């Protein structure tokens, strides 16, 4: 895990996102936003600060966290990442699907 990813999770925790507990294992606050119905909307300012500086699986987790139809304000950032960053194929797929869902 990168230092930036740790900082992201610390900020989310300080903002009130609880750690995700699944099958007796405790995860990170980002896991809560991705794996539960807790909306990321109140935390977009934090997520958007990290989405472009993280890479690979860490960036994918942030994209998955903001992947909600009502988060229209993230579209320009997701489109910019898709156009300007070289991302692994699996992250490109997540970006395209998130953009498609949010545009609806």
Query: What is the mean pLDDT of the segment spanning 72-97?
Result: 93
Q: Are strands 25-26 and 21-22 parallel, antiparallel or unpaired?
A: antiparallel
pLDDT for residue 85: 80
Partnered with residue 22 across adjacent β-strands are 25
Predicted confidence (pLDDT) per residue in 34-81, tens digit: 999 999 999 999 999 999 999 999 999 999 999 999 999 999 999 999
Average pLDDT, the chain: 94
Query: What is the mean pLDDT of the segment spanning 70-94?
Result: 93
pLDDT for residue 104: 87
Looking at the predicted structure, is the pLDDT value of residue 21 above 90?
A: no
Q: pLDDT confidence of 98, banded at 50, 70, 90?
A: very high
Determine contact, residues 47/61, Cβ cutoff 8 Å. Answer: no
pLDDT for residue 45: 96
Looking at the predicted structure, is the pLDDT value of residue 23 above 90?
A: no
**Distance between CA atoms of residues 33 and 19, nearest Å:** 9
**Distance between CA atoms of residues 65 and 58, nearest Å:** 11
Give the distance from CA 47 to its chain's centroid: 6
């Amino acid at each position: 895990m990168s230092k930036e990813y740790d900082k992201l999770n610390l900020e989310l925790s300080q903002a009130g996102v609880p750690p995700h507990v699944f099958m007796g294992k405790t995860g990170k606050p980002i896991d809560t936003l991705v794996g539960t119905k807790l909306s990321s909307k109140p935390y977009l300012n934090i997520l958007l600060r990290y989405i472009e500086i993280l890479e690979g699986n860490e960036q994918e987790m942030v994209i998955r966290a903001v992947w909600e139809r009502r988060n229209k304000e993230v579209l320009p950032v997701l489109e910019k990442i898709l156009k300007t960053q070289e991302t692994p194929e699996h992250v490109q797929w997540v970006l395209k699907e998130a953009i498609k869902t949010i545009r609806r």
